[in-house]
Amino acid sequence: MPDPKSKYWLPVRETMDPGIREQKILERVQEVMTYAYKKSVFYRDKWDEAGVHPEHISSLDDFERVPVVTKQELRAAQLRVEPFGDYLCVPEGEVHHIHGTSGTTGRPTVFAIGRDDWRTIAENQARILWAMGLRPGDMVFVAAIFGLYLGSWGAMLATERLRAKCFPFGAGAPGMTARAAQWLKTMKPQGFYSTPSYALHLAEVARDEGIDPHDFRLKTMFFSGEPGASIPAIRERIEASYGASVFDCGTMAEMTPFMSASGTSGSGPGMVLFQDMVYHEVCDPKSFSRVGWGERGTPVYTHLERTSQPMIRLASGDLTHWIQGPSPCGRTYPCFPDGVYGRIDDMFQVRGENIYPSEIDAVLNQLTGYGGEHRIIISREGAMDELLVQFEASENIYAEGATAVDSLRQRASEDLRRVLGVRSKTEVLDINTIPRTDHKAHRVVDDRELFRTLNSKLE
């Protein structure tokens, strides 16, 4: 364990000169590539076809020549060699935990985590909780689904390695959120983990139960699974609801330790990139060459400390931008100052403008009178796409009557047009019309028939 007075888990590594660190990263990249080339048919065939060999990588610039791995390739590899794919680099007998995607939209991806990697994940993510300010003896309430989803397990592992008290409450069962509010009021943990949308839902339920979320006395809340905790308006709503510090974290389940990009105490908004744990690049989405500091691109990730299913240049499909650092917390890593915006695939176009759901989330969460939930409906018919945003109002708006409701709707339309650059139709729904979530929020509906029905009603 670190010195209790230290704000760093590994002071030398976390405050190292970036140039020296990059040389160390290069050495580790060479080791990881050599290992994967020897152990994995997947990587050996992929790199041979691209004319790339581990011995060719003599700089991090050379590393950009290594072709990226896509999720589609991982699924194909697991179809080819069931169940773990030909990128499993340890004997099957060494597999300790099996996790994966839900498979609701196709074949699930299986994550085989070796025994050594399970300990590595715990060690790495305990570093992150320490950086957030949590300490041995603190209690962490894990309010996320325990199943295939790796987020909850990662938070539990980190808490255990930190020698803190883990309260693996879970989520998802009917009535569980009201019980969570009661437990939180009773136990008063220092830390809390969930998705951002669940934290907002929990605050609503707590108030309905006559409990002020401030009574939980949380000091550290950390989130992953969806954009939100780096969006200023959403982060501020969570902070105001609970009176706690809010930290965004998370990359991809395949990249667990997913907290390698995370907020830290003293860093301000966004995420610090723990480059000695997972090597983060931000790349052009087409060429997958690194973009410059301050530029937008898609994150590409490489494991530096995992051996069972190491990901080497895994393309995320997300969108972000990065800056060089150092972080205000004193760590000399680069940062995602605005976190991860969301998946590039989630972007949609309306009248030629690129729009991300997180932009709409941000606008509504800044709107006085917003009730906490919304959905986005897109029409893709004809030459002119249309956008309809439905949302609920706060109780006081409904109490003030139809004029207040319509005024809120108009303000929402104006704010959305100003930020998005296109006109959107808006509708204020009755309270509790939109279902709340116990996990990740899915707010975008691309349904032409539904749009026609609702649009005719509005017209």
Hey, what amino acid is at 55? Answer: E
The tens digit of pLDDT for each residue in 315-359 reads 998 989 999 999 999 999 999 999 998 777 777 766 656 777 878
- Calculate mean pLDDT across residues 387-411: 91
80: closest CA among 34, 38, 40?
Answer: 40
- Calculate mean pLDDT across residues 24-46: 98
Residue-level pLDDT at 441: 67
Q: CB–CB of 153/141 below 8 Å?
A: no
116: closest CA among 102, 99, 135, 96?
Answer: 96
For the chain, the structural domain boundaries read 1-341, 347-458
Residue-level pLDDT at 154: 96
Cβ neighbours for 153, distance < 8 A, ≥ 6 positions apart:
97, 99, 146
Please state the φ and ψ torsions of residue 150, each to the nearest 5 degrees: -80, -20
Residue whose token pair is 């007075």: 5
> Could you tell me the end-to-end alpha-carbon distance of the chain, in angstroms, rounded to an integer?
64
Q: Is 380 helix (H, G, I), strand (E, B) or coil?
A: coil
The tens digit of pLDDT for each residue in 366-395 reads 899 998 888 888 765 554 567 889 999 998
Please state the φ and ψ torsions of residue 17, each to the nearest 5 degrees: -55, 130
Q: Which CATH superfamily is domain 347-458 in?
A: ANL, C-terminal domain (3.30.300.30)
Cα torsion through 428, 434, 437, 440, rounded to 10 = -60
The gap from C-alpha 61 to its chain's centroid, in whole angstroms, comes to 27
Q: Which two tokens stand for residue 183?
A: 């437990």
Q: Which two tokens stand for residue 242?
A: 């609970």
How far apart (Å, rounded) are the C-alpha atoms in residues 142 and 287?
39
Asked if 1-341 and 347-458 have one fold, the answer is: no
**Number of Cβ atoms within 10 Å of the Cβ of 438:** 21
Q: Is 139 left (phi over 0), alpha (psi -120 to 50) or beta?
A: beta
What's the topology of domain 1-341? Rossmann fold (3.40.50)
Residue-level pLDDT at 249: 96
How far apart (Å, rounded) are the C-alpha atoms in residues 171 and 454?
33
Q: Is 206 helix (H, G, I), strand (E, B) or coil?
A: helix
Residue-level pLDDT at 234: 85
Can you list the alpha helix ranges (DSSP code H) found in 188-306? 196-208, 232-242
The tens digit of pLDDT for each residue in 113-166 reads 999 999 999 999 999 999 999 999 999 999 998 988 899 999 999 999 999 999
